[in-house]
Amino acid sequence: MAKLTIEDLSLSGKKVVMRVDFNVPLKDGVITDDNRIVQALPTIKYALEKGAVVILLSHLGRPKGEPNPDFSLRPVADYLEKALPGNVFFGEDCVGEAAESAIAQAKSGDVVLLENVRFHAGETKNDPELSQKFAALGDVFVNDAFGSSHRAHCSVAGITEHLQPAAAGYLLQKEIQFLSDSVNSPERPFVAVLGGAKVSDKIGVIRNLLPKVNTIIIGGGMAYTFMKAKGLPIGKSLLEADKVDLAKQLISEAEAQGVKLMLPVDSVVSKEFSNEAEFKTVAEDGIEDDWMALDIGAETTKLYSDEVRAAKTVIWNGPMGVFEMSNFNKGTFALAQAMADATAGGAVTIIGGGDSASAIKKAGLADKVSHVSTGGGASLEYLEGKDLPGISSLTDKG
Ligand SMILES: Nc1ncnc2c1ncn2[C@@H]1O[C@H](COP(=O)(O)OP(=O)(O)O)[C@@H](O)[C@H]1O
Ligand SMILES: O=C(OP(=O)(O)O)[C@H](O)COP(=O)(O)O
Ligand SMILES: [Mg+2]
Shared domain for 167 and 184, answered yes or no, is no
Determine, yes or no, domain membership for 391.
no
Shared domain for 366 and 295, answered yes or no, is yes
Shared domain for 138 and 211, answered yes or no, is no
Asked whether the CA dihedral 129, 119, 361, 87 is positive or negative, the reply is positive
Q: What is the per-residue pLDDT across 234-267, written as a single tens digit (0 to 9) for each?
A: 999 999 999 999 999 999 999 999 999 999 999 9
> 396 CA distance to ligand 2 centroid (A)?
26
Ligand with the closest atom to the CA of 195: 1
Q: Which of 117, 140, 171 is the last residue of a domain?
A: 171
Q: What is the per-residue pLDDT across 62-96, written as a single tens digit (0 to 9) for each?
A: 999 999 999 999 999 999 999 999 999 999 999 99
Question: Which residues lie below 8 Å from residue 72, measured CB to CB, with a gap of 6+?
Answer: 60, 115, 116
Q: Based on the structure, what is the number of domains in the chain?
A: 2
Shared domain for 146 and 189, answered yes or no, is no
Q: Which of 124, 142, 171 is the last residue of a domain?
A: 171
Determine, yes or no, domain membership for 39.
yes
1: pLDDT strictly greater than 70: no
317: pLDDT strictly greater than 90: yes
Q: Which of 171, 199, 232 is the last residue of a domain?
A: 171
Shared domain for 196 and 342, answered yes or no, is yes
Determine, yes or no, domain membership for 108.
yes
Single pTM value for the model: 0.95
Residue 25: its pLDDT value, please? 95
Which residues belong to the annotated binding site for (2R)-3-phosphoglycerate? 36, 118, 151
Residue 398: its pLDDT value, please? 82
Residue 185: its pLDDT value, please? 86
Which residues belong to the annotated binding site? 21-23, 36, 59-62, 118, 151, 202, 324, 353-356
Q: How confident is the model at residue 272 (pLDDT cuts 50, 70, 90)?
A: very high
CATH of the domain at 234: 3.40.50.1260
Shared domain for 182 and 153, answered yes or no, is no
Shared domain for 158 and 70, answered yes or no, is yes
Q: What is the distance between the alpha carbons of residues 246 and 229, in angstroms, rounded to a whole number?
A: 9
Ligand with the closest atom to the CA of 147: 2
Residue 182: its pLDDT value, please? 82
Q: What is the distance between the alpha carbons of residues 360 and 101, in angstroms, rounded to a whole number?
A: 40
Query: Sheet of 313-317: strands edge to edge?
Result: 260-262, 215-218, 190-194, 313-317, 348-352, 371-373
Determine, yes or no, domain membership for 311.
yes
Determine, yes or no, domain membership for 353.
yes
Range of the domain at 308: 178-384
Shared domain for 188 and 256, answered yes or no, is yes
Shared domain for 222 and 157, answered yes or no, is no
Asked if 80 and 113 touch (Cβ cutoff 8 Å), the reply is yes
- Best mutation site among 119, 148, 323 for ligand 2, i.e. most ligand atoms within 8 A of its Cβ? 148
Shared domain for 125 and 158, answered yes or no, is yes
Shared domain for 247 and 377, answered yes or no, is yes
Mark whether 354 is an active-site residue. yes
Residue 133: its pLDDT value, please? 98
**Mean pLDDT, to the nearest integer, of 143-151?**
98
Coil/strand/helix, residue 30: strand
Residue 183: its pLDDT value, please? 80
- Does ipTM surpass 0.90 in this model? yes
Residue 184: its pLDDT value, please? 82
Determine, yes or no, domain membership for 398.
no
Q: Of the residues 195, 354, 375, 376, which is catalytic?
A: 354
Residue 136: its pLDDT value, please? 98
Residue 63: its pLDDT value, please? 98
Mark whether 125 is an active-site residue. no
Shared domain for 249 and 162, answered yes or no, is no
Q: What is the per-residue pLDDT across 92-146, written as a single tens digit (0 to 9) for each?
A: 999 999 999 999 999 999 999 999 999 999 999 999 999 999 999 999 999 999 9
**Mean pLDDT, to the nearest integer, of 206-224?**
96
Question: Which residues lie below 8 Å from residue 237, measured CB to CB, with a gap of 6+?
Answer: 221, 224, 227, 267, 269, 287, 292, 293
pLDDT, the chain, mean: 97
If one counts every other C-beta atom within 10 angstroms of the C-beta of residue 104, the result is 9
